[in-house]
A and B are shown apart, each in its own frame.
Chain A
Amino acid sequence: MDKNWAIDAEDITIAYHDKPVIWDVDMQVPKGVMMAIIGPNGAGKSTLIKGLLGLIPLTAGDVKVFGESYKKVRKKVGYVPQRTAVDWDFPTTVLDVVLMGTYGRLGWVKRPRKEEIILAHEAIEKVGMSEFANRQISQLSGGQQQRVFLARALTQNAEIYLMDEPFQGVDATTERAIISILKELKNSGKTVIAVHHDLQTVPDYFDWVTLLNVRRIAGGPVKEVFTKENLRKAYGGRISFLEDKSE
């Protein structure tokens, strides 16, 4: 119940009927770190994020965000879903999507006003999409779509950001832009948690890591737990390409 943890998840199990996707996972994330959740396909990474956010019911376990239940501190949590989770042919513009980040603060029925629109424009500028603000979202590239999602989360003005595969299918420039924004967030004391695929970049991008494969394999500072041994535990034999990199 320590308030110093940004997220304190205990004994989380998530199951579809009787198939466990996440098995009894404990995870403590200190405030102000940038943490990667890594693990092979089907390890339950996205499920874990959704479980933390209450989007999927927990079969068992308990999540505290800044020592409180998620419902109480919802406004301190920003979320970037997987880019592929939505239909980008939806009739709306970049600005409109980014504005959605302010809806949580507005609550039911109240509409965004000038203040929110300014906030959205600032976020759009931050991700380098100003000239696209009125663009229809179906005309964006994958990288641009991801920037829009990031901008939307920025308008949430949260203390902790949960991101599902923020680098999947984006170009190198976008990846660099996103990582620099995330580092900026971290430097201003925010906590960032991202599901990540590319093991090579883990030590460069993140300072904290959780290895997941249905169960939690290891978790802690990258320097301590991002080891060959732990990776082998998480990925089984499929980790040879990292042999000379991880130590």
Chain B
Amino acid sequence: MIVELLIIAVLVAVACAIPGVFLVLKKMSLISDAISHSVLLGIVVGFMLTHSLSSPLLFIGAVITGLLTVFLSEVLVKSRLVKEDAAIGLVFPALFSIGVILVSRYTGNVHLDTDAVLLGELIFTPLDRLTFMGRDLGPRMIWVMSIILIINLAVLFLFFKELKLATFDEGLSASLGFSPILIQYILMIDVSITTVGAFDAVGSILVVALMIVPAATAYLLTDNLKTMVILSIIIGIVASLLGIAFSWIIDASAAGGMAVMVGIIFFFTFLFSPSRGIIVLKKRRKNQKIEFAIKMLVVHLLHHSNTKSELEECREQHLLEHINWEPRFAKQVVQKAKKDELVTDREGILILSKTGINMAQESMLR
């Protein structure tokens, strides 16, 4: 049972992480947030028609509402009556509201209630078995998520090149014959299907956490699309397993635990990522500031060497007044420049050395 449950969690995490990469890169994270809200309507309508949460009709309903969200938002934007952010913010709450009202009025307590909408019921997913001619084939969820995972992987491999192009340069990929709109819609269908699949396990809203956050975290760690996909998957798996363990210990919702864990991983990456973490970034910016200041100093000196104003402009004292650096910072810069033998001091006037002149000329070439 527990193994099956963990398998389900891992499958959900991996299936969500894959489209997430493209959502983050294509700056469409909030569209996926919108879709995850509004697919509820499709799920509920499907459920009301079939009285089953396992009917394929639910997927069709969800895909339709997912696409409807995107389509309606685009219609609003094209009408130029509202701006893009407001358009999205008008459409998905409306569709979601209809869904919530249907859930609470007509389906109440029959396998589908607002808790299921928000949190999913991961613990119960292994109980729903798939049987074939009297033989137990394992939890239905494993089959469903495996199929979705295969679809996501297929989308990933089939469109990897195209998505890479579309992600980095929409104009270019359009001119090469791949319609960015088509790719966008395929991606949106994929997001809708994945959301419905993951619905049982983590509810429709927290799907967003498993889609966006692993990808956003990976984006802070690598510049390579392939690595980013793999990292997102790993982060998703680790977060969901830790999250389940954590939520068992404190006896709370597994979906909430998974979202919090992936958030914690993101937070630590945000602070400590060796390439883009805040701490490294702050240190690098400080170094850059001094290095840049030295460049600025040599360029300034070069500008004014051999001119009438040299005596005035190249005095150390002048730098303090005119370049408007703080005295301590200016001293630091001049000292570093002297140490690097870029300038020499002749009675308070700074003279460029040969290396200094070279550096100044190189800097000006940009």
Please provide the chain A residues from 10 to 25 with a CB less than 8 Å away from any CB of chain B in the complex.
10-11, 13, 15, 17-18, 20, 23-24
A89 to B292, CA, bound (A): 41
Interface presence of A62 (CB below 8 A): yes
Interface presence of A28 (CB below 8 A): no
In the bound complex, residues from chain B placing their C-beta under 8 Å from that of A20 are 292, 295-296, 363, 366
Min CB gap A188→B, angstroms:
33
A23 to B361, CA, bound (A): 12
Give the interface segment out of B40-48, B162-170, B322-330: B322-330
**A60:B325 contact, CB within 8 angstroms:** yes
**Given A10-B322, A11-B323, A60-B364 contact (CB < 8 Å):** no
**B303:A24 contact, CB within 8 angstroms:** yes
Secondary structure type dominating chain B contacts: helix
Given contacts A20-B296, A23-B363, A62-B323, list 13 more A-B pairs with CB under 8 A: A11-B300, A11-B323, A11-B324, A15-B292, A18-B288, A18-B292, A24-B303, A60-B293, A60-B325, A61-B324, A62-B322, A62-B324, A215-B364
**B288:A24 contact, CB within 8 angstroms:** no
Contact with B along A203-230 (1 / 0, CB 8 A): 0000000000011000000000000000
In the bound complex, residues from chain B placing their C-beta under 8 Å from that of A13 are 296, 323
Number of residues of chain A lying within 8 A (CB) of chain B: 17
A89 to B293, CA, bound (A): 42
Interface presence of B299 (CB below 8 A): yes
**A24:B324 contact, CB within 8 angstroms:** no
**B324:A23 contact, CB within 8 angstroms:** no
Please provide the chain B residues from 267 to 323 with a CB less than 8 Å away from any CB of chain A in the complex.
285, 288, 291-293, 295-296, 299-300, 303, 321-323
**B291:A18 contact, CB within 8 angstroms:** yes
**B288:A17 contact, CB within 8 angstroms:** yes
A17 to B322, CA, bound (A): 21
**A60:B299 contact, CB within 8 angstroms:** no
**Given A24-B300, A214-B366, A61-B323 contact (CB < 8 Å):** yes
In the bound complex, residues from chain B placing their C-beta under 8 Å from that of A18 are 288, 291-292
Min CB gap B169→A, angstroms:
20
Interface presence of A179 (CB below 8 A): no
User: Which range contains the number of B residues in contact with the other chain?
Assistant: 10 to 19
Minimum CB distance partner of A13 in chain B: B296
From A17, A23, A24, B285 is in contact (CB under 8 Å) with A17
Minimum CB distance partner of B323 in chain A: A60
Contact with A along B158-181 (1 / 0, CB 8 A): 000000000000000000000000
Interface presence of A117 (CB below 8 A): no
In the bound complex, residues from chain A placing their C-beta under 8 Å from that of B295 are 20
Min CB gap A83→B, angstroms:
19
In the bound complex, residues from chain B placing their C-beta under 8 Å from that of A23 are 296, 299, 363-364
A20 to B362, CA, bound (A): 13
Minimum CB distance partner of B285 in chain A: A17
In the bound complex, residues from chain A placing their C-beta under 8 Å from that of B303 are 24
**B292:A59 contact, CB within 8 angstroms:** yes
In the bound complex, residues from chain A placing their C-beta under 8 Å from that of B300 are 11, 24
From A11, A15, A59, A89, B322 is in contact (CB under 8 Å) with A11
Min CB gap A26→B, angstroms:
8
What are 11 A-B interface contacts by the 8 Å CB criterion?
Answer: A11-B322, A20-B295, A23-B299, A23-B364, A59-B296, A60-B325, A61-B322, A62-B322, A62-B323, A214-B366, A215-B364
In the bound complex, residues from chain A placing their C-beta under 8 Å from that of B299 are 23-24
Contact with B along A61-73 (1 / 0, CB 8 A): 1100000000000
In the bound complex, residues from chain A placing their C-beta under 8 Å from that of B324 are 11, 58, 60-62
In the A-B complex, the 7 residue pairs with the smallest Cβ-Cβ separation, listed nearest first, are: A60-B323, A18-B288, A62-B324, A10-B322, A18-B292, A24-B299, A24-B300
In the bound complex, residues from chain A placing their C-beta under 8 Å from that of B364 are 23, 214-215
In the bound complex, residues from chain B placing their C-beta under 8 Å from that of A214 are 364, 366
Of A13, A60, A89, A215, most B-chain CB atoms within 10 Å: A60
A13 to B293, CA, bound (A): 10
In the bound complex, residues from chain A placing their C-beta under 8 Å from that of B323 are 11, 13, 60-62
Minimum CB distance partner of A60 in chain B: B323
A61 to B293, CA, bound (A): 12
